[in-house]
Amino acid sequence: MDDLTAQVREFAEERDWQQFHTPKNLVMALAGEVGELVAEFQWLTPEQANAVMGDPEAEARVRAEVGDIMIYLTRLADVLGIDLREAAVTKLAEVAIRYPVDEVRGSATKR
């Protein structure tokens, strides 16, 4: 992960894009990219969505969108001083307590 953070940071610095990479702007960029991924899936039936990686053109678009999202998420985390992996692991531990295995099995109800 650190390696990717460094690559994305270098990419931005070489282009003098730090001025654009404020937290607010990066959050918007992340939302914009997620919107593109959502658009990729919006008209697919569940079955078509499950099989999306079997269609080479759709697969390429989905990979590119997921890559874009990961790039901006990595950059945002870097700018905010957040370790992405640690943030995920910490949150997963909290969610595990809120959703005990034996109480929520098979249920998607929010708590």
Shortest distance, CB of residue 83 to a second copy, whole angstroms? 9
What span, in angstroms and rounded, lies between the C-alpha atoms of 70 and 101? 29
Shortest distance, CB of residue 94 to a second copy, whole angstroms? 8
What span, in angstroms and rounded, lies between the C-alpha atoms of 98 and 86? 19
Shortest distance, CB of residue 27 to a second copy, whole angstroms? 5
What span, in angstroms and rounded, lies between the C-alpha atoms of 58 and 94? 35
* C-alpha dist (Å) from residue 24 to 69, 85, 93: 15, 21, 27
What span, in angstroms and rounded, lies between the C-alpha atoms of 17 and 9? 10
User: 1 or 56, CB closer to a second copy?
Assistant: 1
Shortest distance, CB of residue 59 to a second copy, whole angstroms? 9
- Six token digits for residue 102: 């034996």
